[in-house]
Amino acid sequence: MSDSQISYANLDYIENSLSALNSGVSHLTDQVSSVNLDLYEVRTNLEQLIQEFQEYVKKDLLGKNLQLAETRIVKVRQEIESDFGHYGEVRRRVTGILQAVDVGLVKKETVANASEEHMLSSPRYWLAPCLISLSAWLSNNKELADKSMMEALRRDSEKTALFFTLVTRRGGRYQASSEWLNHYLGLQNPEELEREIVVMIDGFTNGIFGPDARSKCGQQIESWITELSQKVGFVEEQNAQWKVALESKIEEQDIDMYPYLADYSPTWEKLKSSLEGAKLHENIHDYFEDIFSQEVSPSKTIAFAVDAMLDTLITKFDEEELPLRKEERLLSLIIEQSGNEGHAQTLFNNEKSLEERVSFTQLLTNFAMQPEISNASLTTQKFSIAWSKEWIKNAHDDITADNRASVPSEIAIEIKQWNGVTETGENEEELVKSLERHVDREKKLLFSEVKFKGAHYIGMIATIMFIYMGFSTPILLFLAIFSAGYVYLGYKEMQKRKAKISQIAKEQFENDKILLRATLAEVVDWRQEYAKEDANASKVSDLLEAVNPEQYSFSRYGNARAILS
């Protein structure tokens, strides 16, 4: 009686305990399994999230920079207008007076009075005494003309000399024009030229000057280049200068073309910059070809041509405005670069078009590559490229060699924890096998974590003990069945987990295989595209080879015939 009571009470208690233990262990196992199996997914998601967040921050910053630059550029332009707007009136008078005298519609007194007023309203401005001198000259007042001319020379001798070179040429005074040009050239140092020299070069290349002046200009340019080229390190300096100028034509590669390489190759940055470098050949070729294919449309008369150059001289090169002009340029570059301040600053530093004084060869580079900022005409641009063609070719050859050396021979691929290397994308089968081995290894690693827990081992020992003791106490055989059942459940759970791991590993392999194949396809296409773009390098040399500097200096408005010796 007492035996049956004890066994009834014990069985109930053990059954409940086993059930609770089993459910607790199962729950725990499920959790561990879930944590282990989702580990990769969590890591991948986290990496993706970090990347997206960084992209968002970057975009936000660029957007703000862009907005700020757009607002600031308006303010800078307003500042230029408010600070130097009154110069505009003086500037307009210059061509106004010359054109009025051409048609003879304005009285000399009116011209004289109007000019003197501006002298009062524009202190320190070099053009105001030039205007008085011009009106005095037109009114045959030599004394006033000389006096005001001296004042103008005192304020800015170089601009004044260039101004009168053009004005006298406009009036057909060849001797005076030649003397003024001599005076201007005498003031120049080829290593430190002012930006307005573009007007003189424009005059030379567009055939504005008379035969004597044109010949002097040609000789002067040659002697400057000879003088500069005798300097130690000139060739290296030219190469470096042109390399910077040519590299400014690099366009950022569209990452959409190779999305898998961008995501799964640690070598992507190198590939990207190599391809951008190779595409530069086509960009440079197109840029030069476009310049040389454009036709130069000359002005109707010498008066129109000189007036246009006078406009440029008096509006674009005043030092007082330079700080604001520089700021305006930097802001416009930030806008062009969609808010990328760093890139805009680098481009601005490389441009050197707004430097106060630069060497003649740097000027040629500026005329060739940034004609809008350096105010060079199309003819001057052609002339500059023609004169610099050897330097351009050398710099281009250097860029090509550097770019070819930077092409990675091996392209690394990284898909989650797997790494592989390819050269041309041909070893697809080998890499797929390597990926399969990697997934297998990971699977085995996870399998090794799937094993009986301590409770299961206790269950096994208990089963054996209960069976052994069950021979003497048969009731214990029931306990042996329960503990064996518990061990069996554990075993089934292990099988289930292993099957789940196998399923996940299979899916992972299939997904990663797709990514690998897509990346390899992009490697093949990348190599093809690079080879195609790189082959364009010779096009640039061929184009420049055909250019001759003598072709690009004209004598359009002169009557004298140019004699070729």
Interacting residues with other proteins between 526 and 545 (CB under 8 A)? 528
User: Cβ of residue 49: shortest distance to other proteins, in angstroms?
Assistant: 23
Sign of CA dihedral 456, 460, 463, 465: negative
Torsion (CA) 58, 62, 64, 66 in degrees, nearest 10: 180
| Relative orientation angle of helices 322-336 and 341-351, to the nearest 10 degrees | 130
Nearer to other proteins, 16 or 511 (CB): 511
Shortest Cβ 273–other proteins spacing (Å): 22
Handedness of CA 293, 393, 247, 199 (dihedral sign): negative
CB of 255 to other proteins, least distance (A): 15
Q: Is 112 left (phi over 0), alpha (psi -120 to 50) or beta?
A: alpha
* 38: nearest Cα among 510, 512, 508, 437: 508
Q: Which is nearer to other proteins, 393 or 513 (CB)?
A: 513
Distance (Å, whole) CA 384 – CA 296: 15
User: Residue 143 or 429: which CB sits closer to other proteins?
Assistant: 429
Measured from the CB atom, the residue of 11 and 524 that comes closer to other proteins is 524
Kindly tell me which of 219 and 424 has the beta carbon lying closer to other proteins: 424
Q: Which residues contact 24 (CB under 8 A, 6 or more apart)?
A: none
Site for other proteins in 401-440 (CB under 8 A): 424-426, 428-429
* Shortest distance, position 515 Cβ to other proteins, whole Å: 7
Nearer to other proteins, 482 or 526 (CB): 526
The CA distance from 357 to 24, in Å, is 83
> Residue 66, interface with other proteins (CB under 8 A)?
no
Yes or no: say if 134 and 342 are a contact pair by the CB < 8 Å rule.
no
The distance of closest approach from Cβ of residue 448 to other proteins in the complex, given in angstroms and rounded to an integer, is 31
* Six token digits for residue 25: 């262990």
Least distance between other proteins and beta carbon 412 (Å) = 17
CB of 274 to other proteins, least distance (A): 19
Smallest distance from the beta carbon of 507 to other proteins, in angstroms?
14
Residue 465 or 521: the one with the smaller Cβ distance to other proteins is 521
Q: Token digits for 361?
A: 């060869």
Q: Exactly one of 114, 525, 541, 549 binds other proteins (CB under 8 A); which one?
A: 525
Residues in 463-522 that interact with other proteins by CB under 8 A: 513-515, 517-522
Structure tokens at 225: 């280049």
* Residue 315 to residue 503: CA distance in whole angstroms: 76
150 to 169: interface string for other proteins, x by CB under 8 A: --------------------
Phi, psi of 414 (to 5 degrees): -135, 110
Query: Which one-letter amino acid corresponds to residue 412?
Result: A
Residue 21 or 432 having the CB closest to other proteins: 432
Element (H, E) at 95: helix 39-103
**How many degrees, rounded to 5, is the angle at CA 290 between CA 284 and CA 295?**
150
* Segment lying near other proteins (by CB under 8 A), choices 42-50, 357-365, 393-401, 523-531: 523-531
Cβ distance to other proteins smaller for residue 156 or 522? 522
Q: CB-based contacts of 46: which residues, under 8 Å, 6+ apart?
A: none
CB of 416 to other proteins, least distance (A): 16
Find the shortest distance in angstroms from Cβ 425 to other proteins: 5
Q: Which is nearer to other proteins, 209 or 526 (CB)?
A: 526
Please, what is the minimum distance in Å from the beta carbon of residue 528 to other proteins?
7
Q: Write the binding mask 245 to 264 for other proteins: x where contact by CB under 8 A, - elsewhere.
A: ---------------x----
| Segment 170-179 long-range contacts (CB within 8 Å, at least 24 positions apart) | 170/98, 170/302, 170/303, 170/306, 170/307, 174/210, 174/212, 174/213, 177/209, 177/210, 177/213, 178/209, 178/210, 178/212, 178/213, 178/216
| Of 386 and 523, CB closest to other proteins | 523
Using the minimum distance from each CB to other proteins, give the nearer residue, 429 or 542.
429
Q: Does residue 524 bind other proteins (CB under 8 A)?
A: yes
Alpha helices, DSSP H, located in 192-301: 197-205, 211-229, 234-247, 259-264, 268-293
Kind and range of the H or E element at 76?
Answer: helix 39-103
Instruction: Tell me the closest approach of the beta carbon of residue 514 to other proteins, in angstroms.
Output: 5
- For other proteins, the closer CB: 372 or 429: 429
8 Å CB contact between 498 and 443:
no
Give the total of residues touching other proteins (CB under 8 A). Answer: 18
Contact by Cβ (8 Å): 533, 278: yes
CB of 357 to other proteins, least distance (A): 53
Q: Fill in the per-residue mask, 337 to 376: x = in contact with other proteins (CB under 8 A), - = not in contact.
A: ----------------------------------------
- Which residues contribute to the site for other proteins (CB under 8 A)? 260, 424-426, 428-429, 513-515, 517-522, 524-525, 528
